[in-house]
Chain A
Amino acid sequence: MDRRSTALGRGLLYLLPLGFLGVFFFYPLLAVVVQSFAPGGRLDLTPIANLWREPYFGRALWFTTWQATLSTAVTLALGMPAAFVFARYRFRGKTVLRALTTIPFVLPAMVVAAAFTALLGSRGWLNSLLMDWFEMARAPVRLQQTIWLILLAHAFYNTTVVVRIVGGFWSNLDPRLSEAARVLGGNRARVFFEITLPLLLPAVAAAGLLIFLFCFTSFGVILILGGPRFATLEVEIYRQAVALFRLPEASAIALAQIVLTFVVMAIYTRAQARSSLPLNMRPAAATEVPPTTPASKLFVALTVAGLLLFLVSPLVSLALRSLAGGDDPLRYFRELFVNRTNSLFYVPPGLAIRNSVFFALITTALALTIGTVTAVLMSRGRARGAALLEPLVLLPLGTSAVTLGFGYLLTMGQPPLNLRASPVLVPIAHTLVAFPFVVRTLLPVMRGINPDWREAAAVLGASPWTAWREVDLPIVGRALLVAALFAFTTSMGEFGATLLIARPEFPTMPLVIYRLLGQPGALNYGQAMAMSTMLMLVCAVAFVLIERFRVGQVGEF
């Protein structure tokens, strides 16, 4: 293959992510901006200038930033020990536990609120226990509508991001480096802070960045668990766009949010460029050992207990709540199969599961394809194109769903893109959120691959494609599975996609849950809990299947 055709091939590869972002992100966004600031063709930027004078803007900006920073720190602190244990130790039930820790990521905010209410609410388990033991008249633990509940919920959602991204990277890290340092006399803490942590930094930074953006644009958690006293920029956008229908103001905040995302990205990119080293990555199976020393056994046991308490017990409380149907524990599950009011919008559970899984599979395929190509281009990035691509890829994560949804209405109404009310927009909207996750998961691993190996392969006559397949893919395999898992999860959890589009009836499991919670009555609430339990089960099964997925040698990693 000569140089020119390689360049052409690379140019074509760039078209995939840029084209996707261009059509489904920048074009609709631009339409909203034009509609907001130049409705009659005359440009009027006063809403942006006025933003700084609005007291709510400064307040929301400050709150959004500090709660996201704190949430990220808390999540990283909780997730790192777990990432270590999953990366380095082999123990019974590891796959199942890892699948369980990912489930929070798919749960709608309303369901997480229900789980926390069942566990920590004024009539929840914890308070009932404490009131019984200490004979108190009023519930002692009152977390509702506090910043603590917001932090707890953000950590509950995102610990899996640390476990998966940092843990995945860690498991490929050659343990001989830290072993050598220990032999040379370094104590545990010193080896961790001077050897392991610097090597892990790209993955920690990638996970931290994703968590920060996720909390930065947090909507449901803030609205439901935080209550109206807390308002993020995302909540302000919704208020301006929906309650007051002041589109210019909403767009101005949305733009400010995008600019901030860009700034965070720029800081990250600089840090990342300095911390990223080519490493001799090792297959995960070669680096994990059973815990043998009493200290390591204790550490594994404590971490597992912590995960069970923090991540799994809310899920269990939810499942138990769905079984609390009086004399018939399966009453709410049975009721899901009954169309009591003969409603046109009744959804049999099988159909909801099928729709959810179908959309999630398409999302996974789309996000993996676009995300892998993007990550490959960026990992080879001395070219200017890669430097441009880097900050663009995460922008969808920092963009308000309501604003983008208005853009879709304005742009997707004419052929060839007549998609406004089409179910096709569902996996596309999911992919927009999922593919930045894919890129961020793959990139630290891809950048860690020693380029010498690739060059050696090229010298030995391998084409770039063969070299990628034989050198990169076996190492990237594990990260690809993690990326697939995130893409699948993002779609199952319906991140903001309901705000995006006016969709006809292709109801997914989260939509069924929302519909059930829209009317009062014990059967409705019970069914919502039952459907949530089904969502957890379907996801758990899917996660275990994805983890078991084997393709050639990749599976051995």
Chain B
Amino acid sequence: MKHKRLFSLLLAAAVMASTLAACTPVPATTPTLPVAETSAAPVASPTAPEVATAPAEPTEVRGARALTVMTHDSFSVSEDVVAQFQAQCGCTVQFLKSGDTGLALNKAILSKNNPLADVFFGVDNTFLSRGLAGDIFEAYASPALAQMPEELKLDPGNRLLPVDFGYVTINYDRAYFTENDLPLPATLRDLADPAYESLLVVENPATSSPGLAFLLATIATFGEAGEYTYLDFWRDLRKNDVLVTDGWEDAYYGQFSGGSGEGDRPMAVSYATSPAAEVFFADPQPAESPTANLLLPGGSFKQIEFVGILKGAREPELARQWVDFMLGETFQEDIPLQMWIYPALPGAELPEVFTRHAQVPSDAVAVSPDQIEAGREKWIQAWTDVVLR
């Protein structure tokens, strides 16, 4: 009869699994269940990570309301900052990570008739027009907006409110240039000089957000018409054996030779804060970063990230509180070390590792969101034909 037992075991497991499917809120008493992070834990018990939570419809905390924030995979925040908000609002906050920025936004647009969350964070200026055209955001003139710099407010209708910004630029491997006695390139066009052959790695603008940002910088710098267009520049880069990868991870860790990179190319398109992260995420921390920013004129792009309240939010009141909180000092000062970008709030204090090891490009390029949305497909196609075919 042992086989019978095996089969009933399988059946029991299947039944158990389907029961689980039927009744989300996972009971907290079953010891083998996966344990959620404290992200949705009740406010009162930050020390009890054993509390299993049911994220979609967290109903098990009677009386406590729940706010759901949809965001991209790179989002991060400190535990105590969220705990502070939960205490303040008397609610729980749940984060839904939904892929990279583009994928997360598309998911939000597709589910607009029945939104997955109350708030969406992480639309950047390259996707802003798509987000607004998708008609998924509710306008909210947060009082906290008053302190935000005008140049970051790209949506006059206040459907998307600026939270942070950062710069995409070229990082270089200090040791390589010193050891080889090679002067640093001084302009973008220098990158096409044979002295720098096979030294640069960039990301594919069709699949990577820093890749698109860098392409946009070259479009703004060289233009689409004239004697030497952005496509001429890229044609020359290709002749100089530029390497293209599909994602930032492979470009930085797989091909770049500086810092924690494992490759052999001493220049890579990354973020202006990456040298600071190289210092912070080292043990022991070095006095100087092994990498540095190559701030070529016209070679940096400013990315701005926005938050918005989703139309049809179940908790619009909590959503407004959360947006105010994100624009407030506590959250803003938490941003740098969590996401390695700059807080939008001008007075927010920066950690030492930022002030010492990260630089702000003086001439970062800005392209208007409307122009980006209108040109994206055409530019990416033209770039693909010139660089990859």
In the complex, whether A200 has a CB less than 8 A from a CB of chain B is no
The answer for the CA separation of A518 and B75 in the assembled complex, in Å, is 10
In the complex, whether A224 has a CB less than 8 A from a CB of chain B is yes
Q: Which of B33-41, B162-170, B218-226, B319-327 contacts A (4 or more CB under 8 A)?
A: B33-41
In the complex, whether A229 has a CB less than 8 A from a CB of chain B is yes
In the complex, whether B102 has a CB less than 8 A from a CB of chain A is yes
Residues 267-324 of B contacting A (Cβ, < 8 Å): 270-271, 274, 277-278, 280-283
Residues 507-557 of A contacting B (Cβ, < 8 Å): 507, 514-515, 517-526, 551-552, 554
Contact, CB under 8 Å: A502 / B116: yes
The answer for the CA separation of A145 and B198 in the assembled complex, in Å, is 14
Contact, CB under 8 Å: B17 / A505: no
In the complex, whether B264 has a CB less than 8 A from a CB of chain A is yes
Residues of A within 8 A of B103 (CB): 242, 402, 499
Choose among A362, A414, A423, A552 the residue that contacts B3 (Cβ–Cβ < 8 A). Answer: A552
The answer for the CA separation of A122 and B250 in the assembled complex, in Å, is 14
In the complex, whether B144 has a CB less than 8 A from a CB of chain A is no
Contact, CB under 8 Å: B130 / A245: yes
Residues of A within 8 A of B75 (CB): 345
Residue of A nearest to B82 (CB): A344
Residues of A within 8 A of B380 (CB): 243-244
Choose among B79, B97, B283 the residue that contacts A503 (Cβ–Cβ < 8 A). Answer: B97
In the complex, whether A86 has a CB less than 8 A from a CB of chain B is no
The answer for the CA separation of A175 and B104 in the assembled complex, in Å, is 56
1/0 per residue, CB under 8 A from B, across A318-358: the answer is 00000001000001000100011111111100010011001
State the Cβ distance, B64 to closest chain A Cβ, in Å.
16
Contact, CB under 8 Å: B57 / A418: yes
Choose among B57, B252, B282, B388 the residue that contacts A228 (Cβ–Cβ < 8 A). Answer: B388
Residue of A nearest to B274 (CB): A520
The answer for the CA separation of A550 and B270 in the assembled complex, in Å, is 52
1/0 per residue, CB under 8 A from A, across B225-242: the answer is 000000000000000000
The answer for the CA separation of A421 and B38 in the assembled complex, in Å, is 17
Contact, CB under 8 Å: A424 / B14: no
Chain B CB within 10 Å, residue with most, of A139, A366, A499: A366
Choose among B14, B21, B79, B249 the residue that contacts A343 (Cβ–Cβ < 8 A). Answer: B79
State the Cβ distance, A314 to closest chain B Cβ, in Å.
14
Residues of A within 8 A of B271 (CB): 520
Residues of A within 8 A of B38 (CB): 344
Going nearest first, the 9 A-B pairs with the smallest beta carbon separation are A521-B281, A504-B55, A365-B13, A552-B2, A355-B34, A502-B98, A122-B264, A523-B281, A421-B56
Show the binding face of A for B, using Cβ within 8 Å.
35, 110, 113-114, 117-118, 121-123, 139, 144-145, 223-224, 227-229, 238-239, 241-245, 247, 325, 331, 335, 339-347, 351, 354-355, 358-359, 361-362, 365-366, 368-370, 372, 402, 405-406, 409-410, 413-414, 418-424, 427-428, 469, 473, 498-499, 502-507, 514-515, 517-526, 551-552, 554
Given contacts A418-B57, A422-B24, 7 further A-B contacts (CB under 8 A): A121-B263, A244-B376, A245-B106, A406-B106, A469-B3, A504-B55, A522-B283
29 sampled A-B residue pairs with Cβ under 8 A: A113-B250, A114-B254, A121-B264, A224-B245, A229-B388, A239-B206, A245-B106, A247-B110, A344-B38, A344-B78, A355-B35, A359-B34, A365-B13, A369-B11, A406-B106, A418-B56, A420-B111, A421-B68, A422-B21, A422-B56, A423-B34, A502-B116, A504-B40, A517-B249, A519-B277, A519-B340, A520-B270, A522-B278, A523-B281
